[in-house]
Copies of this chain bind each other. A is one copy, B any other.
Amino acid sequence: VRVPSCHHRDSAMVIGREMSPAGLRATPIKGFILDITGVLYNSMEGTDGIPIQGSVEAVNRLYSESRVRFLSNESTGTVSHVVGKLGRLGYSGIRAEDIITPAPTAAEYCRMNGLRPHLLVHPGIRSVFDGISQEDPNCVLIGDAEHAFTFKAINTAFRHLMKMRDPLLLSLGCGKFYQRTDGPCIDVGAFAEALKFASGCRHVVVGKPRPDYFQTALDSLGMDKEEVVMIGDDIVSDVGGAMKFGMRAIQVRTGKWRSEWESHEVKPTLIANDLLSAVRACID
């Protein structure tokens, strides 16, 4: 976790229109939508990751009051995989139905739209697409495939796009990078850009920052967007997406946080040091 200097902390309070806790609480906050990776824990290769200090406390508090949903762009594992990992990290008792990841949403999108996806995804989520025809593909579906992003796999996806009359790429999120303890990792959005550039395909994002993805979490909470705050570590997907949709949004200084984002064109409702600080600013 990067600890910003006092200078940064001070400047965050004066940038933008609604940077003060007062702006944050101009209308009552009933619910929370939380990003997972970089907010609840930091990723560490080959392990479940490392919980971020105070986040277990914050999540327990919100979860016991039944006013939180988890909205992730995670595409390397199924929801039950995420539940298992969170449990091992100390986030116990979280139900699978309170965690939204893009792969099941994309599978439903394929079913609704008659799409037969060629999958360029992590082996951990292929099972989500069982039962959806993948013969004679009419779209490519790309996730964070990590080491499955070989030249051969990328080229195979490209060739499928080149064969389509109206080439379409679905991506599970479109992040630039995510943060691991050993450094930043290039994310699915970059590989989606590569395929777009080479093939000229259309591109539909399933996940944040798409408005309907935030709406899914609101529907699950049974709340309106004016009543809910999004908290995340990605200035574009989490904060930018939520604010464009009409929600308040808190950027945390954990996970992939970069100090240069203090002057990012996206102006969060609040920048908080971590999830616990963010939650306290909302409800204490």
Contacts and interface: CB of A to CB of B under 8 A. Distances in A.
A183 B176 CA distance: 29
- Dominant secondary structure of chain A at its interface with chain B: helix
A155 to B, nearest CB: 5
A198 B194 contact: no
Interface string A164-196: 000000000000110000011111011101111
Contact of A149 (B148, B151, B159, B176): B151
Interface in A116-175: 145-152, 154-155, 158-159, 162
Interface residues of A, number: 30
Contacts of A190: 158, 194-195, 197-198
A62 to B, nearest CB: 32
Given A194-B190, A197-B193, A151 B147 contact: yes
Contact of A186 (B145, B158, B184, B193): B158
A193 B189 CA distance: 11
A76 B151 CA distance: 14
Nearest to A163: B183
A176 to B, nearest CB: 5
Contacts of A154: 149, 186
User: Which residue among A162, A176, A193, A197 has the maximum number of chain B CB atoms within 10 Å of its CB?
Assistant: A197
Closest 5 A-B residue pairs measured CB to CB? A190-B194, A190-B198, A194-B194, A193-B197, A149-B151
Given A158-B184, A187-B198, 6 more contacts: A147-B150, A147-B152, A158-B185, A159-B184, A176-B199, A186-B194
10 contacts: A145-B151, A147-B152, A149-B150, A149-B154, A150-B150, A159-B184, A162-B184, A190-B194, A191-B194, A193-B194
